[in-house]
Structure 1
Amino acid sequence: MPLYMDIHNIIAGVSAEDVAKAHAADLQTEAGYEVRYLRYWVNEPLGKVFCLVEAPSAAAASTVHREAHGLVADEIFQVQEGV
């Protein structure tokens, strides 16, 4: 399954608590799309959120975000995990 990293730029700011809630919503939505949101990182001062996801496509990963909470990523890249 391809692996993707997405980037959210939240201009109004973001809290780790809000991101945790959004991630929980992703986890409740993902199964219907063969998607698995694995991890996320938050930079509160810069309003940045990064999500690591296994998905059949970038579009499938984006659809889960859209349906779960509406916070679609600004960018999404297919990545390979290194050692």
Structure 2
Amino acid sequence: MPLFMDVHHMEGGVAVGDVAQAHMADLQEQAQHGVSYLKYWVNEEQGRIFCLVDAPDADAANTVHREAHGLVADEIYQVSEGS
């Protein structure tokens, strides 16, 4: 399955606890769309969230975000894993 990295730009910053709650909502929704959210990273001050996800396509990954909590990615890139 393709691997994607998505990027969220949150105006005014973001709290890591809020991102953890959104991630938990993604985990509850993901199976319905054949998606697996693997990890996320947060830059609280700059309001940036990065999500790593196995998904059939970018639309499926964004659908999980939309249905779980409404915070869709501003950017999404197909990536390859390296060491």
Aligned: 1:10 with 2:29: no
Query: Percent same amino acid at aligned positions?
Result: 65
Partner of 2:67: 67
Partner of 1:78: 78
RMSD: 0.4
TM-score by length of 2: 0.99
Moved >6 Å (runs of 4+): none
Deviations 1:53-75, CA, capped at 9 Å, x for gaps: 00000000000000000000000
Aligned: 1:57 with 2:57: yes
Q: What runs of 5+ residues in structure 2 fail to find an aligned partner?
A: none
Contact 2:39 2:53 in 1 (8 A): yes
Q: What runs of 5+ residues in structure 1 fail to find an aligned partner?
A: none
Aligned residue-pair number: 83
Partner of 1:23: 23
